[in-house]
A and B are shown apart, each in its own frame.
Chain A
Amino acid sequence: SQLSLYTSPSLPNITLGLPAS
């Protein structure tokens, strides 16, 4: 069976969308 290619791992931006602390 043809395996689909995964996209490269990445880490989320921790405070994306949060007000400046």
Chain B
Amino acid sequence: DNLSIHQLAAHGDIAQVKMHITCDNSLLNSQDERGFTPLMWAAAFGEIEMAQFLLEKGADPKTFARERECALSLASAGGFTDIVNIILKHEVDVNSYDWNGGTPLLYAVRGNHTKCVEALLRHGADITFEADSGYSPIALAVALGYRKMQKLLEDHILNL
């Protein structure tokens, strides 16, 4: 039971996380060796209640890891729509771009997560933002053969 707060967050162990931050509140936004916070671990592993709990305790969803990864991108890449929506209730940059060459929208398209894409577009995600390889979200959907995703993105552009 000497797991780090990051591992506990990933495992959704709210009781243990609560105990840790009660003893040392700075752990709430502590970054591991790659810059990932407990919220990022919870977002990456789809732990909805944990993400909600951490944010209620004051976890900062705007924190970037070493390569500018953020909780929103991790949740979008994993297709965890509930967590995407929870994070979007906070003031975050929906178009944050990281050194891995992507935005939350591009990660959601890559993973073919249509519900995440809808949530991001509703919050103003920039559909023209290209990955550093030059792929726009639509070009990515076409290249990956994601027909439903392609139509969703095309319909969004038509409605702009």
A11 lies within 8 A of B7 (CB) = no
Tell me the number of A-to-B contacts counted with CB atoms below 8 Å. Answer: 66
* Dominant secondary structure of chain A at its interface with chain B: loop
Q: How far is A18 from B143 in the complex, measured between Cα atoms in Å? A: 7
- Chain B residue numbers with a CB within 8 Å of A20 are 133-134
Interface size on A, residues (CB 8 A): 14
Q: How far is A15 from B137 in the complex, measured between Cα atoms in Å? A: 11
Asked whether any CB of chain A lies closer than 8 Å to the CB of B149, the reply is: no
Q: Chain B's nearest CB lies how many Å from the CB of A3?
A: 5
B36 lies within 8 A of A21 (CB) = no
- Chain A residue numbers with a CB within 8 Å of B101 are 13-15
Beyond A9-B41, A11-B98, whether A3 also contacts B11 by CB under 8 A is yes
Interface size on B, residues (CB 8 A): 33
Q: How far is A14 from B98 in the complex, measured between Cα atoms in Å? A: 11
A15 lies within 8 A of B11 (CB) = no
Residues of chain A whose beta carbon lies under 8 Å from any beta carbon of chain B: 3, 5-6, 8-9, 11-15, 18-21
Listed A/B pairs (27) with beta-carbon separation below 8 Å: A3-B7, A6-B10, A8-B32, A8-B36, A9-B36, A9-B43, A9-B44, A9-B69, A11-B69, A11-B73, A11-B77, A11-B98, A11-B102, A12-B77, A12-B111, A14-B101, A14-B102, A14-B110, A14-B131, A14-B133, A15-B135, A18-B135, A18-B140, A18-B143, A21-B133, A21-B134, A21-B135
